[in-house]
Amino acid sequence: MTGQNLSARVALVAGASRGIGAAVALTLAEAGAAVAVNYRERAGDADAVVARINANGGRAIAVAADVSQAAAVARLVDQVASALGPVDILVNNAGVAIVRGVDDLTEDDFDRTIAVNLKSAFLCTQAVLPAMRARKWGRIVNISSGAARGAGAIGVHYNASKAGMEGLTRGYAARLVKEGITVNAVAPSLIETDMMGGRTDLARNIPLGRMGQAEEVAQAVAMVLGNGYMTGQTIVLNGGMAFI
Annotated catalytic residues are 158
Distance in angstroms (rounded) separating the CA atoms of residues 60 and 35: 5
Query: Taking the chain, what is the end-to-end CA distance rounded to the nearest angstrom?
Result: 28
How many CB atoms sit inside 10 A of residue 108's CB?
9
Distance in angstroms (rounded) separating the CA atoms of residues 67 and 24: 18
How many CB atoms sit inside 10 A of residue 130's CB?
10
Per-residue exposure over 43-59, b if at least 16 CB sit within 10 Å of its own CB, e if not? eebbbbbbeebeeeebb
